[in-house]
Structure 1
Amino acid sequence: MNFPQFLVGMTTASFVVALSTFLATGSIWKALGWTVLTLIVSQVGYFLLVVQVIYRAGRKTHR
């Protein structure tokens, strides 16, 4: 997965979470909180994906 795909997916997921949370609770602050949490989890997941790709590339070159 390249960065533009990740960025579009992260933006879409954040928008869906914000909208659904706002419609369910009626609170803009809860929607904002859940959206920030979604963004943090997405960034951590992307970081782990990059680490995995680098690790696998390093293992293949050392064989």
Structure 2
Amino acid sequence: MNFPQFLVGMTTASFVVALSTFLATGSIWKALGWTVVTLIISQVGYFVFVIRLIYGTGRKTHR
């Protein structure tokens, strides 16, 4: 997965979460809060994915 692909997916997921939360609750603040939580989780997941790629590449070259 490259960065532009991740960025499009993260933006789409954030928009869907914001819209669905707003439609369910009617609160912009709750929608904003859930969107921020979604963005944080996505960033942590991407970071873990990149670390796994780096670690996996390092292990394969040392064998």
User: What TM-score results when the alignment is normalised by the length of structure 1?
Assistant: 0.99
- Residue by residue over 1:5-24, the C-alpha shift from the partner in whole angstroms, topping out at 9 and shown as x without a partner, is 00000000000000000000
Amino acid in structure 1 at the alignment position of 2:56: R
Query: Gaps spanning 5+ residues in structure 1: where?
Result: none
For residues 53 and 11 of structure 1, what CA distance do their matches in structure 2 show? 23
Q: State the 4+ residue runs in structure 1 displaced beyond 3 angstroms.
A: none
Identity of aligned residues (%): 86
| Cα RMSD (Å) | 0.3
The count of residues paired between Structure 1 and Structure 2 equals: 63
Aligned to 1:26: 26
Aligned to 1:56: 56
User: What TM-score results when the alignment is normalised by the length of structure 2?
Assistant: 0.99
- Residue by residue over 1:2-53, the C-alpha shift from the partner in whole angstroms, topping out at 9 and shown as x without a partner, is 0000000000000000000000000000000000000000000000000000
Aligned to 2:9: 9
Amino acid in structure 1 at the alignment position of 2:31: A
